[in-house]
Every structure is written in structure tokens, then in C-alpha cells.
């Protein structure tokens, strides 16, 4: 999530044996996304600006009730297991979840980065920074400006929870950034962390990108990211999951789908 030691321009592409294409195949990704959105009865709209930036938004139909949950992926183009994991989730999640929860998806925020296998977008901007006022003076990318322009809508869609799925190409181990209106990580944070840990050993206690990590969690670290902004924007809880980019791609995709499932199941489980 943090960028200080990361190369925004280096390309990372993996072959996807199960999907039969490369991890940066935007055409294959888009075709499958469209088919799954239709199968699930999701409304598909495109957020766009005048410079050609486009972000797909999928959401439940107006009759669906239940918790409002927003899942986002593909902020960073060298982290493809999030978007591909989202397709896996849409393909395999129980049908009744789509009737019991108001599910919305930003399946691929940084299209140009994804197609190039590069962290940053085509303009060299970091799409997960600058959402909030910050002491570093980080400003939003084109994608960030577009999402900020739809703040009220996103606030509604993610009112009961926001999950943003990332990867860390420098790591062998998994971890989670989580945000709650609480002093300690609650069941929401622990559920996502434990879901990640079913696939990967968790990062040891210490620091990651200058943030303190304990028990696989970086908790309430207020940076200028999308997930930090969405909490400030009224979401009940938000998280940014990190699968390890130094591990094989297949379990990374499986882990992302599993964490999305854990996120929805947690919101649907009575406390």
C-alpha cells in the first residue's frame, strides 16, 4: 500500500493457467467480468472523466436489501490477484448472498496500470494516494479524482463495509490493513486476517512500509488511501488486504476470492 520503496513503473505479469491468459489481459478480464455481472444481475455503470479514464461500477438492483458492502480491486497494476480473485468470487459465491446484501464492486480501478502490469497508471500517478488531506501533500490520481467526484454514491454503497484488495510484490507473507471506529481490531479485522492466513504465513511483527504490523494487522493507520478515506467518508469499517506477490499466482487469486467471501459472510452473520 505504501510506495516509498516501490517501483511504480516496473512491469509484473504472470501466466494464469486456470484462466488461460496472462494476468494483464484486459480484454479477457473485461469479457469475463461482463458475463459474470450479467449472470449475477448486477447493474453495470461506467464512471468516466473527460480525459478518457474509465472505472466500471457494478451494483445490486434497487430491490435488494441488506448490508451495503463495497469491494474494490486493481488500484495497483502489478497486483492482479485482486481483480482476478473478484471474478472468482463472482463465479463461486452463494446465490443467496446477492439477494441478502447490497453488493457493489469496483473490479478494476487502474485499467492502464493493469494492462501494463505496472503499479502506477499511464500518467505515472499512484491511484491509491491523495484521497484525504495529508501532510505529505499527496494528490489524487486521475482515478482518484473520479472516485472523489462520486463520494456521495460510494458512501452509500460502502456504508456497512469496504474491502480493497491489494498485493505486495515485495513480500512472501500476507497481511491486512484494517480500519474500524474502535481502539482495537474487532471481528471484522480478525476475520479477514485469518482468511489470508489460511493461504499464506502472516508477516512477522515489526514494520511494513513504515507502518507497525502486529499479528498480521496494520490497524487504523490513517494514510491518504482509498480505504482510509472511505472510513472518514462514513463507512462502518474498511480494509486493504495484501497477498504476497512473491508467492505463486494461483493461491493469491484463491486467497483474494476467499477474503471477499469472508468479508460478505461476516456482514451477513448476526452478532
3-state secondary structure of 100: helix
User: Per CB under 5 A, which region of 63-71, 75-83, 186-194, 222-230 contacts Ni ion?
Assistant: 75-83
Q: Which residue is nearest to Ni ion (CB)?
A: 166
Nearest to 224 by CA among 171, 177, 159: 177
Name the residue nearer to Ni ion (CB basis): 36 or 162.
162
Q: Cα separation of 244 and 173, whole Å?
A: 5
Number of residues that bind Ni ion (CB under 5 A): 2
Name the residue nearer to Ni ion (CB basis): 166 or 237.
166
Name the residue nearer to Ni ion (CB basis): 76 or 118.
76
**Whole-number minimum distance, CB 76 to Ni ion, in Å?**
4
Residue 263 φ then ψ, to 5°: -60, -45
User: Per CB under 5 A, which region of 72-80, 81-89, 185-193, 254-262 contacts Ni ion?
Assistant: 72-80
**Residues whose CB falls within 8 Å of the CB of residue 97, separated by 6 or more in sequence, listed in order:** 103, 264, 265, 268
Give the per-residue SS3 of 206-247: EEECCEEEECCEEECCCCCCHHHHHHHCCCCEEEEEEEECCC
Name the residue nearer to Ni ion (CB basis): 166 or 252.
166
Indicate whether 129 belongs to the interface with Ni ion (CB under 5 A): no
User: Per CB under 5 A, which region of 34-42, 91-99, 159-167, 224-232 contacts Ni ion?
Assistant: 159-167
Q: Enumerate residues 11-30 that contact Ni ion by CB under 5 A.
A: none
Residue 59 CB: number of other CB atoms within 10 A?
21
Q: Enumerate residues 164-223 that contact Ni ion by CB under 5 A.
A: 166
Burial class (CB in 10 A: 0-12, 13-18, 19+), 62: exposed
Indicate whether 76 belongs to the interface with Ni ion (CB under 5 A): yes
Nearest to 170 by CA among 137, 138, 207: 207
Name the residue nearer to Ni ion (CB basis): 10 or 45.
10
Indicate whether 88 belongs to the interface with Ni ion (CB under 5 A): no
Name the residue nearer to Ni ion (CB basis): 58 or 72.
72
**Whole-number minimum distance, CB 40 to Ni ion, in Å?**
26
Binding site for Ni ion (CB under 5 A): 76, 166
Amino acid at each position: 500500500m505504501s510506495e516509498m520503496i516501490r517501483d511504480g513503473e516496473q512491469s509484473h505479469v504472470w501466466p494464469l493457467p486456470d484462466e488461460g491468459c496472462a494476468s494483464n489481459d484486459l480484454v479477457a478480464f473485461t469479457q469475463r467480468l461482463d458475463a459474470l455481472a450479467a449472470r449475477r444481475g448486477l447493474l453495470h455503470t461506467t464512471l468516466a472523466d473527460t480525459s478518457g479514464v474509465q472505472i466500471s461500477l457494478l451494483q445490486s438492483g434497487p430491490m435488494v436489501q441488506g448490508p451495503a458492502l463495497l469491494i474494490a480491486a486493481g488500484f495497483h497494476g502489478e497486483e492482479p490477484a485482486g481483480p482476478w480473485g473478484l471474478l472468482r468470487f463472482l463465479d463461486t459465491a452463494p446465490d443467496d448472498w446477492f439477494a441478502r446484501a447490497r453488493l457493489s464492486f469496483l473490479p478494476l480501478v487502474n485499467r492502464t496500470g493493469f494492462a501494463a502490469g505496472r503499479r502506477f497508471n499511464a500518467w505515472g500517478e499512484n491511484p491509491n494516494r491523495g484521497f484525504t488531506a495529508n501532510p505529505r501533500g499527496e494528490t489524487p490520481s486521475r482515478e482518484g479524482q473520479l472516485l472523489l467526484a462520486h463520494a456521495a454514491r460510494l458512501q452509500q454503497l460502502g456504508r456497512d463495509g469496504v474491502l480493497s484488495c491489494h498485493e505486495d510484490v515485495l513480500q512472501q507473507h500476507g497481511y491486512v490493513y484494517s480500519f474500524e471506529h474502535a481502539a482495537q481490531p474487532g471481528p471484522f479485522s480478525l476475520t479477514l486476517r485469518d482468511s489470508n492466513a489460511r493461504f499464506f504465513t502472516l508477516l512477522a511483527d515489526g514494520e511494513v512500509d513504515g507502518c507497525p504490523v502486529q499479528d498480521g494487522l496494520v490497524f487504523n493507520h490513517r494514510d491518504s488511501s482509498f480505504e482510509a478515506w472511505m472510513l472518514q467518508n462514513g463507512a462502518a469499517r474498511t480494509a486493504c488486504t495484501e497477498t504476497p506477490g512473491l508467492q505463486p499466482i494461483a493461491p493469491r487469486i484463491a486467497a483474494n476470492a476467499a477474503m471477499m467471501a469472508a468479508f460478505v459472510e461476516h456482514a451477513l452473520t448476526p452478532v
